[in-house]
Structure 1
């Protein structure tokens, strides 16, 4: 690994760090619980966010759409995942589940992108604009799920010209197979680096 993460051009993208994903009692927490615990995901996320702040790397919050009544009713082709999210009211607006976890609240100097409706944090949001507006060229992508929103965001980031890093133990998936596919099969086809938290921290100096 030879990448340097210069603070002035690097951003840490935190994808969908909601209570519904990260906390016991969250609607989607059972999906990721076993893998997240095996990865020590939560502690690694805390470590990366704290290190980014310490080094002057901007933290970007990349939030999924928060469910509201009527979502997708007039859509012609909502995806099965979107319909499933609506059925279980995942990340419902103005609820505990649709709130960023206490460890990952927005702080002064952070950037919050507009909510994405499908998997990627880029289409139909201001994420690209807010990255380029502040001169960010390198994105370190963490969060959930490894094979859906995280992969889609990171992949489109590469397509848009960003240097893209995935962090193996700062994500999770519903199965080991999905995690393996995201990090070991798909990831190396587009990501410039696929690292561990320890490797990222070392690169940050």
Structure 2
């Protein structure tokens, strides 16, 4: 299914990792993504997109990263590089402001909050596929963070599971310009559509 329409009853918006540590000034990772977020216009585009998505009757799914706890990775055999790098900062630490959802971009009443993913894919070891199927979803639209890790991994996994995948290239950010370039390069390998916020808004149901 590669058409350009987004029927409200078969489409979902996936907002990936909308934590204060990423999306709020003063968050532990805010400065790390700020340059690319400013360049893409991510914050302004999310402000334009989220109300229109909800008004169109499209279901919003919040796809959060695992919140850090003490001793999370003790005795793990294969901790990945990102998990290891995050140990000193304790990003998204449970019980802290940074581990809470950003009030503007996080869940609102009626949104579905998915179980936390441990690494990059919002599908791996979570209930995302089950929740999408139970809601009759065939098309997923991805926004949030990080473009070349969690967004890409979730999109790839979704494609493999048979979903129509849309990337919104100016509603995401990365830790570097190179990361954004990597996402741009890899996107056409798995996404059925790569749109700007403006282009997506033009395709939403009335």
TM-score normalised by L of structure 2: 0.96
Indicate if the aligned counterparts of 1:145 and 1:172 stay in contact, CA closer than 8 A.
yes
1:144–1:171 Cα contact (<8 Å) kept? yes
Measure, in 2, the Cα distance between the counterparts of 1:86 and 1:122: 23
Deviation at 1:189, TM superposition (A): 0.7
Q: Deviations over 1:68-107 (max 9, x none)?
A: 0011012111001111122210100111111111102322
Cα distance in 1 for partners of 2:67, 2:55 equals: 30
Tell me how far apart the structure 2 counterparts of residues 25 and 44 of structure 1 sit (CA, whole Å): 21
For residues 33 and 108 of structure 1, the distance between their equivalents in structure 2, rounded to whole angstroms, comes to 28
- Counterpart position of 2:187: 187
Q: Note if contact 2:6-2:204 (Cα within 8 Å) is conserved in structure 1.
A: yes
Match of 2:89 in 1: 88
Aligned to 1:117: 118
- Between the aligned partners of 2:25 and 2:106, the Cα distance in structure 1 is 18
The SS at the match of 1:165 is strand
Aligned to 1:108: 109
CA positional deviation for 1:181 = 1.4
Q: Is the CA contact (8 Å cut-off) linking 2:62 and 2:106 kept in structure 1?
A: no
Residue 108 of structure 1, CA deviation? 2.3
Match of residue 196 from structure 2: 196
1:176 CA drift (Å): 1.4
- Corresponding position of 1:41: 42
Q: TM-score, normalised by structure 1?
A: 0.96
Give the Cα separation in 2 of the matches to 1:95 and 1:137. 35
| 1:48-197 paired onto structure 2 within 5 Å | 48-183=49-184, 185-197=185-197
**In structure 2, what is the Cα distance between the partners aligned to 1:88 and 1:200?**
35
In the aligned structure 2, how far is the partner of 1:76 from the partner of 1:85?
17
User: Unpaired runs of 5+ in structure 1?
Assistant: none
Paired residues, number: 204
Q: Aligned Cα RMSD in Å?
A: 1.2
User: Over residues 8-58 of structure 1, what are the superposed CA-to-partner deviations in whole Å (9 max), with x where a residue is unaligned?
Assistant: 000000000111111211111111111111222111112221111000000
CA shift for structure 1 position 151: 0.6
Task: Provide structure 2 residue ranges, at least 5 long, that are not aligned to the other structure.
Answer: none
Alignment of 1:15-30 (within 5 A): 15-30=16-31
